[in-house]
A and B are shown apart, each in its own frame.
Chain A
Amino acid sequence: MSAHASTDVPILECSGLRKRWPDGRVALDDASLVLHEREVVAVVGPNGCGKSTLLAALAGLETVDAGDVRFRGVAVALPRTGARPTKSDEEAARRHRLRIGVVFQSYGLFPHLSVGANCMAGPRHGLGLAANEAERRARAALARVGMEEVFGRAATELSGGQQQRVAIARALANDPDVLLFDEPTSALDPQRTREVGALVRSLAAEHRRAMVLVAHDLDLVRDAADRVALMEAGRLVADLPVKNFFATSDPMIRRFREHGKTVD
C-alpha cells in the first residue's frame, strides 16, 4: 500500500490515452493511470486488452492518437500517430526514456553483445557515460540480480531465467526513476518463474523506485503491488489497493481473479 500522501505530484501519470491500430482496432481507449513516488502498481487484465501497449506508451515507445503522459507533472512530448517528430521533441522523448526502465516480456537482450555489453549499453550510449563508469554501473546492476559472474558471456548462452535477470540488470544500470515490467515471468518455466518472481518482489520491497508491474501471476501481484489496476479493452476500469483487490466481491473483479476474464 502506498505510504504517500495523495497530494504528492505523481511521478508518472497518463490521462486520456487513445490509440487505434492501422487496421482500426482500438488499442487504448481513454486510458488513465497514476503512479506515485516509490509506489508499485500492478496492471492486470485479460490477454490482448492493451497492457503492453499502455506500458510502451508510458515509456514513450509507442505513438498515440490523443492523451498525455506526465513525468513529475510535466507533459512528455509523446510520439503522435502520423506526425514526424521535431528534433527537439525526439530529444525530449529520449530524455524521458532515460528515466524509465523497461523490462520486456521476451527480454529483448542484444544477441550480438556480451552480457556486460548489454548492461553497459544504457549507461554508455543512453546516458553518455565514460566506458569505465558504464562498466562499474553494469557490474553493480548485475550484482544486484545475482549475475555478476556472467559479465563476459554471450547473452545468447544463458537460460531464459538468466536472460530475464540480465534484462532487469540492464534496465537498472541506467538508474531509472520508474521501472516498467511487462509480464516478466510469463515466458519462464515454474522454477525460473520463482527465481525471477523473487527478484521482482525484492525490488518492489525496496521501495526505492516506482514500478508498474504488468502480470498474469496474481501471487506475484499480491506480494509485490501496493495497488492493482484492472484493464479491459484499452481502458482502466478499476483501480484499488491490493488488499481490496483480493477481498472485493465486485463481480467483475471476482470473475477476473477466478477465470482471468472480465466478461463471460
Chain B
Amino acid sequence: MPKADDPDALTGFEIELMDAIGRALDLRVEPVLGDWLALVDLMKSGRADLAINGFEVTEERAAEVDFSAPYYVYDQQPTIRAADRARFGDFASMRGGADGTGTFVPVATLNGAASVDVLLEFGWPREAIREYDDGLAPYAELKAGRVDLVVQDGVVAQYYAGGDPELVNLAPLGQTGTYAALFRKGDAALRGEFDRALAGLKSSGELAALYRRWKIWTPEQASIGIVERVGDSVATGGSETAAGADGVDAARAFAWPAVLWALAKACVNTILLTVLAMPLAVVVGVALAIAMRSARRRIAWPARAYVALVRGTPLLVQLYLVYYSLPALGLWLAGEIPSLAAILDVQAALTWPAFLVAIVVLAGNYGAYEAEVQRAGLESVPDGQRRAALALGFTHRTTLWRIELPQGFRTMLPATINDLNSMIKDSSLVSLIAVPELMQVALGIGKATFMVPAVLVAAAAYYLVLSLVADRLARRLAAARGLGIVPGAQRGALAGGAR
C-alpha cells in the first residue's frame, strides 16, 4: 500500500501511525514522499493509494477526495515572539483591540490550510495574511520580524515553536478540526479497511500512547474516540520523558559530521542523475539537430516544434507534468478506453519511478538545448570538408557521421561542457518529485533541524565542488580522446574545398 507523505520529521507521528495500521491490516506500507501540495496529485496519479499529512477535513477537499475517519483533533495555535509578550497581551489585541477598530497585525500561516479560513473569520484582511508552502517558514518570518503572529494548527506549532525560547505559544483559539487520511474518490474498500484498523488503534490505547510519545496528546482527542488506558499512561508516562529523544528531539538533533555525510551520500544521486542524463541529452540533441536540418518537412518540423516547446517552458513544469499528470492521464485513458486497458495496463505503463522520470525529463530538456548546440556545430563545419568526403566516395550519411558530426561536436565541446555544468545544478529541481538528491536531502535535513540556511550553504558548497570537478574531468576526458578544444584560427586554416 503505497502512501504519500512528507519527508519532514514533523510528520513522524503519522509515519508511526501508518506503520501501526499496516501491521493491523497485514499490509506492507511503502512511503512515497512528495511536496505537501503535491500529495493530492501524487495520490490522484495512482503513485500513492492514500495521503496522510495533517490534511484537515474540509468541504472543498471532500469534493476531490474521500476522507477516512478522523485520527486527530487539532486546534489553531497562535504564536508570537517572546519579546512581544508585553505588547500583545492577548489574541484580541492583535485583531484591532477589544472593539475591533485597531489594526490587524501581519500574520503568517501555511498555504491552503484551514488556519487561513479561521483568520478570515476572525476578520483579518486578506492582504495581512501571508501564506507559505511549508510549516517552518512562518516561524522563520516571525523571528525575522516580517510578521508579528503565526497561526497554525497545534501539532505544527508544538513541533516548530514549542521548544524555541524566542517564541511563545498563546492559548489555542478553540477552532478545532480534525485530520484525516485522503483516498481517491470511490476507493471504498481500502478506506473501509483503514477505518477499521484505525478504530482498533483508538480503542486499544495504542494511538493515545503514540500521541503522548510525540508530545501532541490533548484531552480533545477523546472526542473522536481515542481511548487512554489509564494504567498504561501512568506506567509509561515516566519513561516517556526519558524516551522523548525517540520522537521530537531525535528529529531535531543536528550534528555537522552526520549532516555532511548525509549530503555527501546524496551527491551520489546527483552525480548519477547527471552522468546518466547528460550523455542521453547529447544523443537526443544530435538526433534533433540532424532532424531539424532535414530537407523533409515531415522530419524537420516536429523536431523544431519539440525544441521550441521544451526550451520555451520551465523544467519544473515539465517535471511536474511527467511525474504527476502522465500517470493521471493513464488512469483516465484506462477508464475511457476499456479495450486498451484490456491489453495494456496504461496507468502502470505511464507511471515511471521518480528516478526514471528525473532522467527522462532532464535528458529531454537538455536534449533540446543540445539540439541547438549540435546544430550550430554542424553549421560550423566548412563546406569544403563535406565536399572532400564526398569526393572520396563517402555517402551523405557517412559524411555526416564520420566528418560533420565529429567536427561539429568538437567545435561545440565548450558549450556542451557548459550544459553538463548547468545540469548538475538543475538536477536540484528534481527534488520536487522527491528524488533523494543533494537538494532534496539538504532541504529535508534543514527543515527538520531548523537549520535550512546553514544546510543550504553546505549543499551549495557541494554543488560548487561537483561543478568544478565535472569541468576538469570533462576537459581531461576530451583531451585524452583526442578531442582537444580546437581554437578557431586553426579551423580557418584548414577550411578546405573547391573554391
Report A's interface with B, CB cutoff 8 A.
52-53, 55-56, 59, 61-62, 84, 90, 94-95, 97-98, 100-102, 104-112, 121-122, 125-127, 155-156, 167, 170-171, 174, 182
Contact = CB atoms under 8 A, between A and B. Distances in A.
B86 interface: no
For the residues of B in contact with A, the DSSP-based class is: helix
Interface in B336-391: 384-385, 387-391
B494 A156 contact: yes
A106 B490 contact: no
Given A84-B295, A121-B402, A125-B402, A100 B391 contact: yes
A55 B498 CA distance: 8
Given A106-B384, A108-B385, A111-B490, A56 B392 contact: no
B122 to A, nearest CB: 73
Contact of A105 (B394, B398, B498): B498
Interface residues of B, number: 29
29 contacts: A52-B498, A55-B498, A56-B387, A59-B391, A61-B390, A62-B498, A84-B295, A90-B396, A102-B391, A102-B498, A104-B388, A104-B391, A104-B498, A105-B499, A106-B384, A106-B495, A106-B499, A107-B494, A107-B496, A108-B388, A110-B389, A111-B407, A112-B410, A121-B392, A121-B394, A125-B393, A125-B394, A125-B398, A174-B393
B353 to A, nearest CB: 39
Contact of A97 (B393, B402, B482, B497): B393
B141 to A, nearest CB: 57
B494 A109 contact: yes
B498 A125 contact: no
A107 B497 CA distance: 7
A106 B406 contact: no
Contacts of B390: 61, 94, 97
Interface string B467-499: 000000000000000100010001100111111
A120 to B, nearest CB: 10
A109 B407 CA distance: 12
A106 B491 CA distance: 12
A110 B393 contact: no
Output the residue of B392, B410, B486, B494 with the most chain A CB within 10 A.
Answer: B392
B223 interface: no
- The CB with the most chain B CB atoms within 10 A, among A53, A56, A100, A104, is that of A104
B480 to A, nearest CB: 15
Contacts of A105: 498-499
A127 B393 contact: yes
Contacts of B388: 102, 104, 108-110
Nearest to A119: B392
